[in-house]
Amino acid sequence: MSEFIKSSRDGGVAVITIDNPPVNALSPGVPEGLRDAIQAEAARSDVQAIVVTGAGKTFIAGADIKEFAKIRAGERPRLSLNPVANAIEDCPKPVVMAVHGTVLGGGLEIAMAGHYRVAAPATKLGQPEVKLGLIPGIGGTQRLPRLVGVAKAAEMCAFGEPIAAAEAQTLGLVDRIAGADLLADAVDFARSVRGVPRPRTRDRVEKLGAASLDALRQQVRRRLRGQEAPLAAIEAVEAAARLPFDEGIEFERILFEQCLHGSQSKALIHVFFGERAVGKVPGLPAGTPGEVREAAVIGFGTMGQGIAMAFANAGIPVSVRDNSDQALARGMEEIRGRYQGAVAKGKLDTAELERRVARITPLGSIAEADLVIEAVDEDRARKRVVFSAIDQEAKPGAILATNTSSLSIDDLASATNRPREVIGLHFFSPAQVMRLLEIVRGRRTAGETVAAALQLAKRLGKTGVVVGDAPGFAGNRIYHAYRREACLLAEEGTPPEAIDAALTEFGMAMGPLAVGDLAGLDVGWKIRRAHADLRLDGGRYPQIEDLMCERGWFGQKTGSGWYVYTEGQTPIPNPAVLELLGAMDGLRRVASAGEIVSRTMAALVNEAAKVLDEGIAARPVDVDIIFVTGYGFPAWRGGPLHYADEWGLTAILDQVRQRHAGSDAVWTPAPLLERLVKQGQTFSEFRAEL
């Protein structure tokens, strides 16, 4: 008997429990053990039905994703689990799957190989394989349409979003919603189906009517631009309507193998584990970090409001302060308005709206707050005054955080008597939405404070990445190098819209110039002036955005920047900017899309290598996750440094050296990049010992 599988009997019903913490993944030994246990129980004369359930917080949550790297590397054969699913389905006695938690991927596929499914009320069920660059590989694309119909199955497999148990029951994917005791209800259900013909999912063809999936394909091409697996998933589901089951399974296998050995799956699995790895920072104190049970936000502008919403959304009461009563009143109205927008979209109900608004208290006391964060103007003197004041008012041990995007944490900490509790929490706008939270560690920030910030990030549903205290921290500094090249390309004669188009085609969520318009060109302008001393002698720096700001063209907030924004119309390139560019001296030429991508990406990678070398980011995976979760870098390319490894560091270094030779000091090759190339190493091997 497998170590992962336990069997017992309850009055003629066998109960088989899968126990492979933490998520009952289908690791080697689990599917085989389950098959053997089902066959052994079915052979018993005192068993008339079988219930399968999962121990812990969830039923099977999928294949063991760690195995795919081994299969890709040829360390392990890709063992199809279809024979296991077929063996379950062919069991001569009814098999009832008692499911709870997150029944995902291979977990749902095994559940569908059962004859019936009984689900706990809060269960989520889905085929999220496309989020790993894969498609279902144990018959999901063939059994799911047989239970819910082709159109719904195609949508579920293409977008990978799970559905709730109630919807699954309505669709026919779940046969019963359990009460408080899932196992008891599942055993009771099993008793009720003893001796009746068992419906093998593969034989249920009544819902297999062909459905037009063209609209879905268009939606996928728009929303999941560049990704291959979603379209493959649709193709596999569509085949279920026209091929016999076993041929459909073979068709699915072919498409699955193509995806598994493609670069997008490797990149997306890198991101899956990377998002979890960044939260594991070596050297932090053991033990449970301090919990933030109550928070406070000082400064109630757009960022302060977003941060307050992030706390309220996570169930954390938050007091909010501002030096203007009007700002407080306006801020509360704007927050309520945003929540009402979510209600209108069906993402929130009104009861939850009221609960969240009630958690935000204007002018509340900060004396009991476990964490106080300031989000006042990006002005050093003002922030120091605020820090000094909250240091007096906050309770001993409370964390004092700043949302600064460019000022020194150490400098702000020196305005307090508790530097060990001072930390940067760099939220990205809109703070209640963006997943990235840069956790900026000052030289005197205590490990306990860092650990508490990482725990808070997870509680807020964000991806916390710890970075060092230096201008621009990690993300903005690297992103600035990438945007610098985009601006220089425009000054050299490439149309701005061509620059943005090349990079959105590459997979960036937005073009770098459009991002400037969105964030406000004046923000960068202010930072450039504050950090003018950091410019390198002999470096080439674009002038265009300074010229635009001098004319008040800040982007969307002023109606024009790189583009002109007119209500209800698609933004158009700003003729006034094109005129400014045309009047600039120097070589005029139009770069190809390929050059735009390779030049901006080489600049990004080179700066990232400098940030790693300086220890501002600890690991390449930290940079990858910063860019995937905070800067719209395509996850299916794995993040900038995973992409660089795929591109080839030698080619990147050649590009950097060529540009440096063109007497631009900003293109000085990063020492780390030169070392890796010299040693024939990749970023993925850098500091792998961490």
Spatial neighbors of 234 by CB under 8 A, at least 6 apart, are: 154, 157, 158, 213, 216, 217, 220
* Shortest CB 617 distance to ligand T1G, Å: 20
Residue corresponding to tokens 């259900």: 189
Q: Which is nearer to ligand T1G, 134 or 498 (CB)?
A: 134
Report the distance separating Cα 104 and Cα 266, nearest Å: 19
* Shortest CB 574 distance to ligand T1G, Å: 43
Spatial neighbors of 321 by CB under 8 A, at least 6 apart, are: 296, 297, 298, 299, 300, 328, 362, 363, 364, 366
* Shortest CB 454 distance to ligand T1G, Å: 13
* Structure token digits, residue 315: 């169930």
Residue 237's alpha-carbon distances to 63, 134, 251, in angstroms, are: 19, 14, 10
Report the distance separating Cα 448 and Cα 421, nearest Å: 8
* Structure token digits, residue 174: 């779940």
* Shortest CB 436 distance to ligand T1G, Å: 17
Per the CB < 8 A criterion, the answer to whether 409 and 422 are in contact is yes
Q: Which is nearer to ligand T1G, 275 or 545 (CB)?
A: 275
Q: Which is nearer to ligand T1G, 63 or 413 (CB)?
A: 63
For residue 567, indicate whether it is catalytic: no
Q: Which is nearer to ligand T1G, 112 or 601 (CB)?
A: 112
Residues that bind ligand T1G (CB under 6 A): 22-23, 25, 61-66, 102, 104-106, 109, 128-129, 132, 134, 136-138, 140, 276
* Structure token digits, residue 437: 């939270």
Spatial neighbors of 377 by CB under 8 A, at least 6 apart, are: 299, 301, 383
* Shortest CB 69 distance to ligand T1G, Å: 11
CA angle 154, 199, 30 (to 5 degrees): 75
Centre a 10 Å sphere on the Cβ of residue 218 and count the other Cβ atoms it contains. 10
Q: Strand 49-54 to strand 13-18: parallel, antiparallel, or no bridges (unpaired)?
A: parallel
Q: Which is nearer to ligand T1G, 173 or 366 (CB)?
A: 173
Q: Which is nearer to ligand T1G, 111 or 644 (CB)?
A: 111
Q: Which of 129, 228, 485, 607 is catalytic?
A: 129
Residue 497's alpha-carbon distances to 483, 553, 633, in angstroms, are: 14, 17, 18
* Structure token digits, residue 282: 């070596």
Q: How many H-runs (helices) and E-runs (strands) does the chain carry?
A: 29, 19
* Shortest CB 65 distance to ligand T1G, Å: 4
Amino acid in the structure at residue 191: R
Q: Which is nearer to ligand T1G, 64 or 410 (CB)?
A: 64
Amino acid in the structure at residue 92: P
Q: Which is nearer to ligand T1G, 394 or 618 (CB)?
A: 618
Q: Which of 32, 41, 109, 238 is catalytic?
A: 109
For residue 41, indicate whether it is catalytic: no
Per the CB < 8 A criterion, the answer to whether 59 and 97 are in contact is yes
Residue 120 has φ and ψ, to the nearest 5°, of -65, 150
Which residues participate in catalysis according to the annotation?
109, 129
